[in-house]
Structure 1
Amino acid sequence: MSQFTVPCVIYRGGTSRGLFFHEKDLPADHELRKWIFLKGVGSEDASHINGLGGASSHTSKAVVISPSEREDIDIDYTFIQLGLGDQTVDLEGTCGNLMAAVGAYAVDEQLVPVRRNDRSKVVRVWSTNMNFELRIHVPLIEGRAKVTGSYKMPGVHDKGAKYVVEIINPGGGKTGETLPLGAQNKLSIGNRSTSSHTPTDIEYSMVDLINPFVYIRATVLELNGTELNQEVSLRVEALRSLEDIRAEVAVQCGFAQDQREAKEKSKAIPKIAYVAPPQDYLTSNGSLISKSDHDILTRMTSMGRMHRSFAVSGLLNLAAACLIPGTIPYQLCQKKIAENVPVVIRIGHPEGVIAILVDYDRKTGQVRSVGLERTARRIMGGDLFIPDRTGISPNIE
């Protein structure tokens, strides 16, 4: 079978990695685009052995960038979550980690003007998946996105240059409301985390901000939130319960018609996490995190598996939820505010603690912005070879 090529760049952003494409380099045929994304990552094999993915949800990603026609916006950003051993091509969510790399790509590909002696550039980005504005503060060196620096972020071994990502008015991107089902709700589902399979009323909060996230208390799964990922991964029934809850909420929100569709076609949203109050715990590399070092403790799954760290979109969502009265994260978070000022929420996750800045308007109940710090690195660029489905290379001009 012959192959054709597509220009592609690989970036790491935060703790994610993805294939970056310029809109003009992709075919107009959306089915052919899906083919390029799937074969580029190697989604048909869970190992991603036949592509450039990394056998995890945070490395099975693609991004499409184009100049924006919107006023006061530089570029449009479309995110694609790809499958692990299946043909999933999901454009319903977004990736907060790769947002830093989106800013770097815009600079490196000369999609925004910079001068050689500029120290930084604010790239204004529109998320086409979620319909909100991003402001990405990109550090520069000699007119290029800077990579090396002194900033150390959890989940990445090397220090790097600090990127600041801000999301403006991030609530309600998929449903139109930050709390489409109210601050808390209940559902009945068989409790598969124990020997009993009788229906159990489970309290949850569904927060639609950046990406829609479902939150339950860790105790629902007979967990305390400090467990290592490998321990939770052995709790097959607990993972199954998490997916059942996620799928049921997807139906309630209108993301899917039934649980089957939610599990087969709506794997990326909503995402689900369990939360707990601050506790002393060990990170995945054995570092001790003190109870006093974080305000809330959490773990999440992505595409049915435990997430190695925690999705940035989820960190931003959870930090905001911690300030929204009535939600489960609000009830478990140790930090409370009484004034209308931006506040930092410290989130404990498997690889450490992340600080998120939230600007929440207590008077209107609206989240004005959320932001965090990341690093990014351009890894390689060139021609991506894609097997031709028909034996005849398509014209992708």
Structure 2
Amino acid sequence: MTQTAIPYVFMRGGTSRGPYFRREDLPEDLDDLAQVLIAVLGAGHPLNIDGIGGGAAVTTKVAMLSKSQNNWADVDYFFAQVSVEEGSVDFKPTCGNIMSGVGAAAIEMGLIDAQKDETEIRINAVNTGARAVARVKTPGGMLTYEGDTEIAGAPGTSAPVQLSFMGVAGSSTGAFLPTGNLIDTIDGIPVTCMDVAMPVVIARAVDFGLSGYESAAELDDNQAFFERMEGMRRQAGALMGMGDVSGSVTPKFGILAPARNGGTIAARYFMPHRTHPTMAVTGAQCLASCALTPGTVADGLVPQAIQSPANVVLEHASGTIEVLVEYSMDNGFELNAAGLVRTARKLADGHVYIPSRIWAGKEALV
């Protein structure tokens, strides 16, 4: 055989999509795994023409699932962000949108049995150690994708997936404020470096000469902004204790502005080398936490304090996303839990094929 077949389920999770695998069906060694995922997605070409990627960072994501080794969780979820145009894979971050499909994929793969009416799946995010509970609709013990829930950035309606996140403060760096400061100044611009579900460098749009209401395409065309932002992101990564982040997609970057369509605050989020067409679930939790924390760059952008539990509505490039944040202020801002509603849908299943010269498969090792 000149090709290796790998079983997979292809899912849309929130506003991202990609292949979901059983972890046991892939190489254990991370270097070998990276080469397999690069081949699967077709990384290294802007259209991912020789793989199943979609030519955008939100469509070159991978979920790998297994029965959890964690006493609390049902499923271990290992995430990989595969580059579109470079032959590289980042195993550092996690992805909340792709996590939206983990519950359904775990049932599809037989890792979890569907319960009557609704099935609760406790998820351990292997990359960061964060915990999440997904609740998916399973009427009569049968998984369904049909429903009337709509999310910005995904067409049509689907069954809701309720996600509740715990233990996400400091999940990547070990600290809610990795630099120890509410505000740092980098290249003359005030930023808040915060780690909630995802480490993010957050600034005010106006400090870059932006409105914060630009479309994703308008921002992507602003090369001068991206060059400045990348330089700041790399400096912030070092300040956050993350070392040289030039080859990593974390920390991410976000900019804020006052809401103008009835939301809590306007935000744009970067992946980091392209503008997110909507909003990342992980990034949304961090930006919402920033908006609620006194003394950050969000001060003055939110009209008034919001009591816990706070429903924070982020206005993004394609609409809005709501984050329900439970927090306390006894010892400064302390995040207890964050919840969002997403949707997911199975798009395909079967086998994806890669050249056997890249990996001959598990059976070749026996």
Q: TM-score, normalised by structure 2?
A: 0.95
Measured after TM superposition, the shift of residue 335 of structure 1 is 4.2
What SS does structure 1 have at the residue aligned with 2:288?
A: helix
Measured after TM superposition, the shift of residue 254 of structure 1 is 2.5
CA distance in 1, matches of 2:358, 2:21: 23
Measured after TM superposition, the shift of residue 30 of structure 1 is 2.6
**Is the 2:35–2:358 Cα contact (8 Å) retained in structure 1?**
no
The yes-or-no answer on 1:99 pairing with 2:117 is: no
Q: TM-score, normalised by structure 1?
A: 0.88
Q: Which amino acid is the alignment partner of residue 349 of structure 1?
A: H
CA distance in 2, matches of 1:59, 1:391: 23
Paired residues for 1:356-375 under 5 Å: 356-364=323-331, 365-375=333-343
Q: Which amino acid is the alignment partner of residue 337 of structure 2?
A: S
The yes-or-no answer on 1:238 pairing with 2:225 is: yes
User: Residue in 2 aligned with 1:269?
Assistant: 250
Paired residues for 1:17-96 under 5 Å: 17-96=17-96
RMSD: 1.7
User: Residue in 2 aligned with 1:384?
Assistant: 352
User: Residue in 2 aligned with 1:251?
Assistant: 238
CA distance in 1, matches of 2:53, 2:3: 19
**Is the 1:57–1:303 Cα contact (8 Å) retained in structure 2?**
no
Q: Which residue, 305, 311, 319 being the options, matches 2:280?
A: 311
What SS does structure 1 have at the residue aligned with 2:47?
A: coil
Aligned residues: 363
Paired residues for 1:1-397 under 5 Å: 2-115=2-115, 118-181=116-179, 182-188=181-187, 201-257=188-244, 262-263=245-246, 265-266=247-248, 268-279=249-260, 290=261, 293-337=262-306, 339=307, 341-364=308-331, 365-389=333-357, 395=364
Distance change in 2, residues 1:335/1:13 (3 Å): farther
**Is the 2:42–2:48 Cα contact (8 Å) retained in structure 1?**
yes
Measured after TM superposition, the shift of residue 272 of structure 1 is 0.2
Q: Which amino acid is the alignment partner of residue 136 of structure 1?
A: A
**Is the 1:53–1:59 Cα contact (8 Å) retained in structure 2?**
yes
CA distance in 1, matches of 2:358, 2:81: 25
What SS does structure 2 have at the residue aligned with 1:34?
A: helix
**What 5-or-longer segments of structure 2 have no aligned partner?**
none
CA distance in 2, matches of 1:44, 1:363: 49
Measured after TM superposition, the shift of residue 148 of structure 1 is 0.9
Measured after TM superposition, the shift of residue 350 of structure 1 is 0.7
CA distance in 2, matches of 1:144, 1:334: 45
Distance change in 2, residues 1:303/1:225 (3 Å): closer
What SS does structure 2 have at the residue aligned with 1:306?
A: coil
CA distance in 1, matches of 2:11, 2:142: 14
**What 5-or-longer segments of structure 1 have no aligned partner?**
189-200, 280-289
CA distance in 2, matches of 1:335, 1:65: 42
What SS does structure 2 have at the residue aligned with 1:269?
A: coil
**Is the 2:41–2:48 Cα contact (8 Å) retained in structure 1?**
yes
Distance change in 2, residues 1:20/1:183 (3 Å): same
What SS does structure 2 have at the residue aligned with 1:246?
A: helix
Identity rate of aligned residues, in percent?
29
Measured after TM superposition, the shift of residue 334 of structure 1 is 2.8
CA distance in 1, matches of 2:358, 2:35: 12
CA distance in 2, matches of 1:228, 1:275: 14
Measured after TM superposition, the shift of residue 114 of structure 1 is 2.7
CA distance in 1, matches of 2:299, 2:142: 41
**Is the 1:2–1:393 Cα contact (8 Å) retained in structure 2?**
no
